[in-house]
């Protein structure tokens, strides 16, 4: 369960590194289309972070080890109550910028995060490096307003020793040929 273990490490990192003073993340989950068809899913409390693992390509390193270069998307979603214009009071402007503060806080805690997980197998993942930043303003209407969504994309390299538990290195026995058929 490679991505499952990585997912748990990412969730723990987001939860333990968030500081007070900014809106707390109320929901963290794997992305399964929750923002596309709200009537098909349970309501999501906001601000929320959804994690989406992009397909990766394995490279065999030999002796039961593999490496995956993969991308991970983090969708940071908030309800926008105030649009934030130059005529708003300072308090309203600050409130409209809370989402951007949350995006930057999540980024600050994910950038360069790396680690090693020892489950039944050993998994190392290299430092997360942001490779993309996109903005989507959702057309979804919630009880309080519309959604604003930013996608942060990170790349990482996983090295897995998953097959090592099944890999046994033995010396090749000499061939013992007793019946040779001559032409």
Distance CA 74, CA 96 (A): 21
Residue-wise pLDDT for 117-131, tens only, equals 776 667 889 999 999
Bond into 163 cis (ω within 30): no
Cβ burial of 108 (10 Å; 0-12, 13-18, 19+) is exposed
Q: Tell me which of 30 and 90 has the higher pLDDT.
A: 30
Residue 179 has pLDDT above 70, yes or no: no
Q: Where are the beta strands (DSSP E) in the chain?
A: 27-30, 48-53, 57-62, 65-80, 115-118, 122-125, 129-141, 146-160
- 25 pLDDT band, cuts 50/70/90, is confident
Q: Which pTM was predicted?
A: 0.77
State the average pLDDT over residues 133-143: 67
Among 35, 12, 4, CA closest to 110:
12
Residue 165 three-state SS: helix
Look over the chain and give the mean of its residue pLDDT values, rounded to a whole number. Answer: 78
Residue 173 has pLDDT above 50, yes or no: yes
Half-sphere exposure of 82 (CA within 13 A, CB side): 16
Among 87, 82, 160, 88, CA closest to 117:
160
Architecture of domain 2-165: 2-Layer Sandwich (3.30)
State the average pLDDT over residues 112-119: 83
State the average pLDDT over residues 10-35: 78
How high is the pLDDT of residue 156? 93
Residue 99 has pLDDT above 90, yes or no: no
The distance of Cα 1 from the centroid of its chain, to the nearest Å, equals: 14
Q: Where are the domains of the chain?
A: 2-165
How high is the pLDDT of residue 167? 46
Q: What is the dihedral of CA 73, 18, 34, 131, to 10 degrees?
A: -10
């Amino acid at each position: 369960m490679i991505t499952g273990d990585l997912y748990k490490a990412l969730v723990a990192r987001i939860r333990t590194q968030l500081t007070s003073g900014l809106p707390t993340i109320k929901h963290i989950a794997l992305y399964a289309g929750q923002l596309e068809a709200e009537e098909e899913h349970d309501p999501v409390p906001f601000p929320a972070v959804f994690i989406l693992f992009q397909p990766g390509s394995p490279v065999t390193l030999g002796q039961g080890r593999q490496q995956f270069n993969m991308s991970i998307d983090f969708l940071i979603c908030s309800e926008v109550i105030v649009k934030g214009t130059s005529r708003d009071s300072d308090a309203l402007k600050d409130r409209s910028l809370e989402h951007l503060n949350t995006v930057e806080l999540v980024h600050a805690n994910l950038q360069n995060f790396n680690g090693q997980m020892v489950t039944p197998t050993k998994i190392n993942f290299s430092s997360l490096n942001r490779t993309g930043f996109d903005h989507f303003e959702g057309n979804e209407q919630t009880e309080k307003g519309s959604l604003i969504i930013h996608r942060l994309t990170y790349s990482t390299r996983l090295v897995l020793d998953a097959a090592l538990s099944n890999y046994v290195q033995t010396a090749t026995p000499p061939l013992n040929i007793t019946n040779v058929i001559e032409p």
